[in-house]
Structure formats: C-alpha cells, structure tokens
A and B are shown apart, each in its own frame.
Chain A
Amino acid sequence: MALKTIPSFSIKKKWQKWRILYDDEAIDNPVVSKKRLRIAAVGGGDIGIRNANSIRAARAAELVAVCDIDPEVIRDLAKRYDVPAIADYERLLARSDVDAVLLSIPHYLHTQMALQAALAKKHVLLEKPLATNSQEATKIVEACRTAGVRLTINFSFRYRPAIELARLLIKDDTLGKISGTQINLFQLKGAKYWAGGFTGRASGDWRKSKEKAGGGVLIITICHALDYLRYCTGLEVTRAFSEYGTYASPTEVEDAIAMSYQYDNGAIGSIASSTFWHADKRDEVIIWGTHGSLRIEENNVLRLWSSRRWRTLVPGKEHLLGDFPQVDYTSKWIDRFARAVENGLPHEITDKDGWINNAVIEAAYRSRDHGRALSVDSFPWQEPG
C-alpha cells in the first residue's frame, strides 16, 4: 500500500489509505450477532453523555438505560435518550435487561459503584483511572475477578488512528530498540474546571480534592499517555520519581508536575506538565529509539523519522503522517469489549492495564515524599497463559 503525505479528499480513499490500521475483526467480519451487549450508562456529566452516545454508536452494544443522581441531569438524560432514565443505582443493577454498566462518575466513587456492579453480576466498563490509588484499584480488580465479571477501563486513546499507527510502526521496528519517551502536556484548567469540569454540566468540586480525585494532572489526564505509551512500546515502567505541586490553581491536587521514569528494557522517560498554561495548548508525546523517532502531536499528527524504510516511506527523512479518518475511539473501545464478551473471547483493555496505570502513578506521587525514585509494584494476579 502506498502511503503518501498528501491529503486524500475522498472519505472512502481516506479509509482505504488507513485500512492497514483497522484490519481487525470489526472490519473483516462486520456482521454482528443479533445479541448485543446491553449497557447502562451511569453518570450524566460531559463524559457520561459522550460515553452514552458512544454506546449507541457501537454496533455490538446497545444503550438500555441511563442513570444519575442529580434530578436536573436525569431529566436531561430522559430527554436525550429514549431509554429508561433511572436515579437509583441499585434499582438499575437489579434490572435483568442490563448486562453491563459504563461508569462515568467521579474517581472516588469508582470503588464502591464498581463493587456493587460486580456483586450484581454486571460487567464493568469504567472511566479512567481505575481508582484513586492502588489499594482501591486492587479492591475493584479483586471484586470483579471473584464475581466472574469482566472489567475494562476507558483507555480508548489506544484506538486513535495516530496511536494505532505509532504502535504498528514500533512493531515493525522502524525505531529500533526503544530508548526513551517523553510526554509534554501544557494546557489551561482554570477555576471553572476545578469547580465542575470544563462545561460545569454536572456540578461537583471533587476534582479539587486529593482524596476524591486521587491527584491532579497526572492521574486525571496524563494517565492516558502513560497507557498508550505502554500499549505502543510494550514496555513497563519499573521505577518513577516526580516533583509536583499546586502553584496557581484553586485546588489541592497538583497543577504542575515533572516526572522521570525508567522502563524494564532500561529505556528512560520524562513528563513535564502544567495546567496553568495560558498560551496555546501543547500536547506532544515523543518516542525515540536507536533507529528513529516518533512525535505524536495533539492534532493527531505523527512525525516519523527513521533510518529504516517502512513500506513506501523512504528512510532518512521526516514524514508527516496525518489525514486520518475521524474515529469515535470511545465507541470502538465499547464495541471491541462487547464483541469479546459476546464471543467469549479475551477483551483488550483489561483490569491489568488499569491496575498497572494506577501503580505507576502511585509510585510517582509517593516518590516525592521519599525524595527518591520508587519501584513500581507488579500486578499481583497471575495472567492466563
């Protein structure tokens, strides 16, 4: 397949061009069994609405109910979706027409509500992060494993075309041995955000609280990049150190952080981030190896330099790879999970992915108080195979 950096103006051509990224069962076998995973969307904030829409867009899933405790929000949900809008979570869990719940709720409620769902034998789709800390994360994983229900975390950035392509490029050895990664995230999260999210749709200032949110920019936002770097490179962070603080935001969690870490292959990495950045947003992830480098830029553009040829991309030159098709990556996460459940196959983003993400973040947070890098705990459960 010829990859060119020139834009393709036809949507069909665009899909053909990037077909390489989606040679999965969803495309090869578009026929879905009549039975679809019946999911209830819990939480009606900004993310809850997006997730409910994504359930509806997923071919293998079906939105069967919505739930929120806020009367105003529940009224709005009832208007938006022609499914039962339920204020009582326990009543929702008692329904037999619900196979799974997608929890888009404040971090501190993850443990309690995921545990309730597991007890009610409902599969759990959980917004990131898995929990506010490793201890809570362990409780959730344990409960789901004991109840025999599946648990997945919304690290759906993995399904963004740029990330899928980055993974493919690394898998095809265009970068050689990975020797480092870097995450730079600078954006503005003003007083309004800390008081109730970007739009203030669901009020609540839980984000300000270390106890309720688990932390600031690292656990709220950078957890995504930590996850997809792990997904792309296949490397595990083994130790981490960070310095962080609250400098200019009305919150007790960190609004700026500098972190360094090491991977299990000896590669190094660093993070620099601030959420009181008034200039243009800067969101960039860099991966470099012995034979090339990749820059993943915010607007879904990849810059590849490699000393090795990859398909039609000549070596020794920086290639700008963009022009990706629009993908509802949240819907793709839900769809893949639903397909796996319906077909009795392993699903992709697992409890292990969520737990490890929490463990890295926890090591980083605790390292500041110890004044030295801390080892990241290993996933305590044995994986099949």
Chain B
Amino acid sequence: MKETLKRYKSRFPPFLGRLGAGIWKSLETPLGALLEHRAILKGHRIVWPVAEVADFESALLLGPTSSDALVQVDFTLISPGTERAQLQGLAGNNFPYHPGYSGCGEVISIGKNITRFRKRDRVAGRIPHKSPATVQEQYLFRIPDNVSLEQAAFIELGIIVLQGIHKAQIQPGESALVLGQGLIGQLTNRLSRLAGAAPIIAVARSRAKEKIAVNAWGADKFLTTDELNEAGPSDGYDVVIETTGDANILPIAAGFARKGGRVIGLGTPRGRGRISLGQNGARPGVRITGAHISGIPQYERSAGLWTYQSEGHLFLDLLARHKLMLDDLISQKVDPAAANGVYESLLSNDPGIIGVLFDWRAYRPQRMKSPFKG
C-alpha cells in the first residue's frame, strides 16, 4: 500500500500529492481495520516526520492480526547508532518514520494463531517505540521471572551483539579489540568476556566511556584511538570487532588483526570504505566477516550460525543467571513525550547518551468502539 501511495505522490503536482497524502493518512487506519478485520486502538508513538526531527504523538493504531500479539509496552530502548543514522536520513529518506526495535511489555491480547504466548505474559522482543505494539510471534520472547523489564528491553541489541560474537568464534584466551564504545560496543565487551576473550581492549575516540567500559564484567583496558594508533598493531589481535558503523574504520580494523585473525563488522557501515590488503595493509590470512543481524537464520542453526530465537533465549538466559550486567548501561529513563529533546541530544553526539529507555507505563492503550472490530 505504501508503494502505491509513493507512486501516486510522484504522479501528481505537490499540492495534490499533499492533499492525497492527507486524505490517505486519515483513512489508512479505518480502511485497514475494515479490510483486515482489525480493531482500532488509541495509542501513542514516536514519529520522525522529517530528517533530524522527532516528535511524540497520540495516534489511532491497528489492533493485532491473527498471527500477532498485542503488547502493552513498558520500556523501549533507543539503539543509538542505528537510530542516529536513520534519523539523519543516512539509511534512506523514509520519512515519516516510526522508529524503535527493542522493548518489552505485557501481552494484552493475542491473535488466534498464537500458541506460545498468553495474555499477561511478560515479553521482550522487536518492539517499536510505541504503545500498544503489535508484534509477530517469532520476534517475541517470554521474560524469565528474575529478569527486570529494564534489562529485558535490551533484547534486540543483545541479539545483534550475540550473533556477532558467535560469528567471531572466540576461543578462550584470545585477545579482542573492540572498536567503538557506544551501546553495541559496551555489550560487545561484556559478551566477549563471557565467550572467554582475554584481554579485551576497548577503543573509543575519547575517554568519556572508559569507566563504564573497563570493569570486572567488561573490558580489561581502554585506549583512545590516538593511543591505539601510537601504540601500533604490534602482533595484532586475534579478534577485532568493529561496532562504530563507520565504513572507514573497517580497513583500519583489518590492520589491527593478527596474522590469521578475524575482523567482525558488527556496526552497519554507512557509506564506502576502502580496504588495502597485503603490505602496509592487513596481515595474511585475516578473515573479515560481516555480522549484520539481517544475515541471521530464522529456522535452523549450526555451530557458527544461531537463529534469532536461539540468540534471544540465550540473552535472556544470561540475564536470568546474572552472568550479564546491564543496569550500569542505563543512562536515562525518560518519558516518551520528551523524545524531541532526547533525539536532539542523540544527534549532537552527547556522550551522556548510552542506554536510553523510554518509559511507556504512563501511556496505557485504550480500545475504541469500532464498527470494524475483528
């Protein structure tokens, strides 16, 4: 339907396009409810109307289909790198855009095809910044009783990092260099330690995040990029994990891997980078592995490739067993109504932003009486 709308908009003069888009916007939800036999709910969400602008709005949302669960959301987590790039329009000009993909809450209704969940289940998964949210069953996980909602909201970022760690095939005692100390970098420090990496060297442009990176459950040492460049690669590191998403860092990362070492591209590269192989570039035998979450298998797993579901369960299991510490990564818990200011800080690369949770508990969904209710 969105494609149809895009084609329609491109065919008409701008003012007619705007008029049509306005009419479409007002009819989209009732039409969807009518055609798909879905309920209409009053809810709230974060929207990016245009690049670099964020807003919080109340909206009419469609209820679940037969294969969705309806989740009353408690917390959603900002994924800083991805959301910053998307908000800046670096990932395509798809505005207005409704961001978010990691959160948790309580199931308040289920479609008839849902078998794994029941009403009132505490769940975490691929949940956008809105409440209520309709989520497909395969993107949801039941939260163990001893895991807090705030920790569970990290689920999608946990999965992103875990699948990278699995692809890195870290052996106990292997050295790991983690480039970038944003939220993904911090999780990488911690999950690399659980995988047995030692020592773990955390690298960032400034020392702002040193304290949070170097501790008993994270990295062993912290270097700024200047210090790293000054020290040089020496023998190199067994595993170099790139988490910044800067395409120009990947070639630098390759230069720090030891002979036969591995480079894991965990960040989503924005733009192009150039890798120089051979003399003055990467050492022989270096393996560069792209580890974007989109390459994760849905149904089967092998030694090196875990499925989305298995990674998610592992993440929650690590939390339940207290193997993974996350509380210190939560820098702010904010009312989603303050989203505009939060995203402004994110765009200005505020070093205080690490793990920002939107707290949706004050915004409970209301079901509307609708003639189209399924």
Interface of A with B (CB < 8 Å)? 291, 307-309, 314-317
Contact = CB atoms under 8 A, between A and B. Distances in A.
A315 B56 CA distance: 10
A316 B57 contact: no
Interface of B: 48-50, 52-57, 340, 344
B49 A317 contact: yes
Contact of A309 (B48, B50, B340): B340
A309 B50 CA distance: 13
A315 B50 CA distance: 9
Nearest to A176: B344
Contacts of A309: 55-56, 340
B79 to A, nearest CB: 21
B57 A307 contact: no
A314 B49 contact: yes
B57 A314 contact: yes
A316 B57 CA distance: 13
A5 to B, nearest CB: 14
A304 to B, nearest CB: 13
25 contacts: A291-B344, A307-B52, A307-B53, A307-B340, A307-B344, A308-B340, A308-B344, A309-B55, A309-B56, A309-B340, A314-B49, A314-B55, A314-B57, A315-B49, A315-B53, A315-B54, A315-B55, A315-B340, A316-B48, A316-B49, A316-B50, A316-B53, A316-B55, A317-B49, A317-B50
A309 B55 CA distance: 7
B129 to A, nearest CB: 16
A173 to B, nearest CB: 10
Contacts of B57: 314
A155 B344 CA distance: 37
A308 B344 CA distance: 9
Contacts of B49: 314-317
A291 B56 CA distance: 17
Nearest to A317: B49
Given A308-B340, A316-B53, 17 more contacts: A291-B344, A307-B52, A307-B53, A307-B340, A309-B55, A309-B340, A314-B55, A314-B57, A315-B49, A315-B54, A315-B55, A315-B340, A316-B48, A316-B49, A316-B50, A317-B49, A317-B50
Contacts of A316: 48-50, 53, 55
A216 to B, nearest CB: 41
Q: Name the prevailing secondary structure of the A interface residues.
A: loop
Contacts of B48: 316
Nearest to B343: A307
A316 B53 CA distance: 6
B181 to A, nearest CB: 27
A316 B344 CA distance: 13
Contacts of A314: 49, 55, 57
A271 B52 CA distance: 30
A308 B54 CA distance: 8
Contacts of B53: 307, 315-316
| Residue from B49, B52, B53, B57 with most neighbouring chain A CB atoms (10 Å) | B53
A166 B53 CA distance: 21
Contacts of A308: 340, 344
Contacts of A307: 52-53, 340, 344
A339 B344 CA distance: 43
A196 to B, nearest CB: 46
Contacts of B344: 291, 307-308
Nearest to A306: B53
A314 B53 CA distance: 10
A340 to B, nearest CB: 38
Nearest to A308: B340
A309 B48 CA distance: 12
A288 to B, nearest CB: 15
B330 to A, nearest CB: 25
Query: Considering residues A308, A314, A316, which has the most beta carbons from chain B within 10 angstroms of its beta carbon?
Result: A316
A249 to B, nearest CB: 40
Contacts of B56: 309
A315 B53 CA distance: 7
A309 B56 CA distance: 9
A291 B345 CA distance: 12
Contacts of A317: 49-50
B364 to A, nearest CB: 22
The 10 closest A-B pairs by CB, nearest first: A316-B53, A316-B49, A316-B50, A307-B53, A315-B53, A315-B55, A308-B340, A314-B55, A309-B340, A309-B55
Nearest to B96: A316
A307 B51 CA distance: 9
A314 B344 CA distance: 15
Contacts of A315: 49, 53-55, 340
A341 to B, nearest CB: 43
A317 B53 CA distance: 10
A77 to B, nearest CB: 52
A291 B57 CA distance: 20
B172 to A, nearest CB: 49
A247 B176 CA distance: 73
A289 to B, nearest CB: 13
A309 B340 CA distance: 8
A265 B54 CA distance: 27
A310 to B, nearest CB: 10
A307 B343 CA distance: 11
Nearest to B339: A309
A316 B56 CA distance: 12
A291 B50 CA distance: 13
A317 B344 CA distance: 17
A308 B55 CA distance: 8
A184 to B, nearest CB: 25
Nearest to B53: A316
Contacts of B52: 307
Contacts of B340: 307-309, 315
A192 B137 CA distance: 80
A316 B339 CA distance: 14
A307 B50 CA distance: 9
A315 B51 CA distance: 11
B1 to A, nearest CB: 23
Nearest to B51: A316
Contacts of A291: 344
Nearest to B50: A316
A291 B343 CA distance: 12
Nearest to B48: A316
Nearest to A292: B53
Contacts of B54: 315
